[in-house]
Amino acid sequence: MPRFFMAGTNLAGGRAYIRGQDAEHVRVLRLRPGEDVVICDGAGKDYRCRIVSSLAGEVEAEVVEVVPCRGEPAADVTVYAGLPKGERADYLIQKCVEAGAKRIVFFECERCVARLDGRGVDKKLERFNRISQAAAEQSGRGIIPRVEYIHDYVEMLDSAVKAGACLFMYETGEDRSPLREAIEAAGDFSSISLITGPEGGFSPAEARLAKGAGAVLCSMGERIFRCETAPVVAVTAVMYARGEL
Amino acid sequence: MPRFFMAGTNLAGGRAYIRGQDAEHVRVLRLRPGEDVVICDGAGKDYRCRIVSSLAGEVEAEVVEVVPCRGEPAADVTVYAGLPKGERADYLIQKCVEAGAKRIVFFECERCVARLDGRGVDKKLERFNRISQAAAEQSGRGIIPRVEYIHDYVEMLDSAVKAGACLFMYETGEDRSPLREAIEAAGDFSSISLITGPEGGFSPAEARLAKGAGAVLCSMGERIFRCETAPVVAVTAVMYARGEL
């Protein structure tokens, strides 16, 4: 069934009013009166609605049923990812949203090739958040995961370690836990941060800083993941451990 | 360290001879005598070699050490995927190889949009296998996972159920096990088949056939994965369960 995200203000008295781009989307999908759509309020609730009328610019629908959105995982996972180049960032967002991340924070670090500055940040984030919304609609999520940007590495770490558990994926060094052990050792966390590097990985100094800040350095087995694959694998590991798969 | 796959015949008497495209690759990477490369025999062994001489078309290297390739997972996972359209297939191969699949078999089914026929198959498979090789080299695998194509759905099922466990990812229906439960119930399998659908998913008839053939119908939680994401998530789940992460 087609899904739309819509703020609660358009849901009143058992009626839903779909306007703007979403109304256009209804038209493109050739949905007609009598057909059903799901409107998600972006806060974890799904409104199953039946289309009553469909005019240019406004679709009116009747709310048939209100249910908690089942596609929304209970685990609260934030991905912190060293900003990758070009399409890799788009891909990372799409797949992490499908996999169940609740928030994606890009940051800059030593070996980042991609850089964001000034006005570029706002434009990029707008685009990134549109990708997140599309992926959330398509995969049946109950929220639209926010995509953010933290320029400063230390500020990023400060934010990441505030979660119940904070795991830092690091490709080298002796002093690492296997990811599975780290997830299991973290126990019954209510939220978790998963930090992954850019194309060139993290520098030893960055790993030391992360460890000093309280993150657990983790290995992901003996294979080397691309920077856009590692966060998807890490989120999936958490979802598996948490019974969401 | 740069990695190459090379048949054992070029590894003799403590010397390795890198020829053709790989020799060109050494030149592109500007590797010079005295520098190290890893040559993997594609059968799970890594030869650490030091370059002795580098001429156009042939690089000679001395074998320093022979070790089992650590990047090769013990779990024997084959992905059977309904052939998706265009770039999705490329992506599926790249990510499943990174995640640790040992073999990828595309097949045709009711809701496949993409079709392969006659000469098209060989050309496509050649390209698919090149993508697999590149991903295997990049992620440090010990083998190059083969990409194959089985036209017939029933033949595909016959092949898939020969593994120790055979899980069929299905988006709808009551009669499904959560993926995690199915993996755990499969116990100590030596090989596993993971079957995933094309863009439009499987038809109810196809799911019944799979069940009849002995596959376990599985849900992957409440989120809906794209056809190129589902196999990567499923392979990752098996790797997690098997202690490879």
Span A1-43, pLDDT tens digits: 888 887 655 666 788 888 888 888 888 888 889 999 888 888 8
Say yes or no: A177 and A109 in one domain.
Answer: yes
Say yes or no: A178 and A144 in one domain.
Answer: yes
Say yes or no: A138 and A222 in one domain.
Answer: yes
Say yes or no: B64 and B80 in one domain.
Answer: no
Q: B94 pLDDT band (50/70/90 cuts)? A: very high
Window A:84-123, CB contacts with B under 8 Å: 95, 98-100
Total count of residues recorded for chain A: 245
pLDDT of residue B10: 64
Domain edge (last residue) among B68, B90, B108: B68
Size of interface A-B (CB pairs under 8 A): 103
Residue B46: both structure tokens together: 């890594």
CB contact under 8 A, B245 and A222: no
A139–B contact, CB cutoff 8 A: yes
Please state, for a pLDDT cut of 90, what percent of chain A lies above it: 63
Tell me how close the Cα of B40 comes to any Cα of chain A, in angstroms: 14
Of A11, A26, A6, A142, give the one whose Cα is nearest residue A73.
A142
Alpha-carbon distance A245 to B8, whole Å? 41
Residue A149: both structure tokens together: 């940007």
Q: Which residues of A touch B239 (CB under 8 A)?
A: 221
Q: At what angle do helices A153-160 and A204-213 cross, to 10 degrees?
A: 40
Say yes or no: B52 and B87 in one domain.
Answer: no
User: Best residue in A180, A236, A238 to probe B by mutation, most B CBs within 10 Å?
Assistant: A236
Say yes or no: B15 and B86 in one domain.
Answer: no
Say yes or no: A36 and A88 in one domain.
Answer: no
Say yes or no: A99 and A59 in one domain.
Answer: no
Q: Which residues of A touch B222 (CB under 8 A)?
A: 70-73, 140
Domain edge (last residue) among A46, A68, A90: A68
Say yes or no: B24 and B123 in one domain.
Answer: no
Torsion angle of the four alpha carbons A123, A127, A128, A133, in this order, in degrees rounded to the nearest 10? 140
Window B:201-230, CB contacts with A under 8 Å: 220-226, 229
Among the ranges A36-50, B7-21, B159-173, which has the highest mean pLDDT value? B159-173
pLDDT of residue B242: 94
The mean predicted confidence, pLDDT, of chain B is 91
Domain edge (last residue) among A68, A97, A124: A68
Structural domains of chain A, count? 2
B179–A contact, CB cutoff 8 A: yes
Say yes or no: A195 and A167 in one domain.
Answer: yes
| pLDDT tens digits for range B222-245 | 889 999 999 999 999 999 999 999
pTM of the entire predicted model? 0.89
Say yes or no: A163 and A48 in one domain.
Answer: no
CATH of the domain at A30: 2.40.240.20
The residue segments making up the domain with residue B235 are: 76-241
Q: For residues A147-168, b (16+ Cβ closer than 10 Å) or e, as one string?
A: bbbbeebeebbebbbebebbbb
CATH of the domain at B152: 3.40.1280.10
Alpha-carbon distance A165 to A157, whole Å? 12
Window A:9-68, CB contacts with B under 8 Å: none
Say yes or no: B209 and B98 in one domain.
Answer: yes
pLDDT of residue B128: 97
CB contact under 8 A, A221 and B232: no
User: Best residue in B131, B222, B238 to probe A by mutation, most A CBs within 10 Å?
Assistant: B222
Give the list of residues 6+ apart from residue A14 with CB closer than 8 angstroms, or none: A62, A63
Alpha-carbon distance A217 to A157, whole Å? 13
Alpha-carbon distances, residue A63 vs A22, A31, A35, A136, B119 (angstroms) = 17, 16, 12, 21, 53
- Please classify residue B186 by burial: count the beta carbons closer than 10 Å to its beta carbon, then call 0-12 exposed, 13-18 middle and 19+ buried: middle
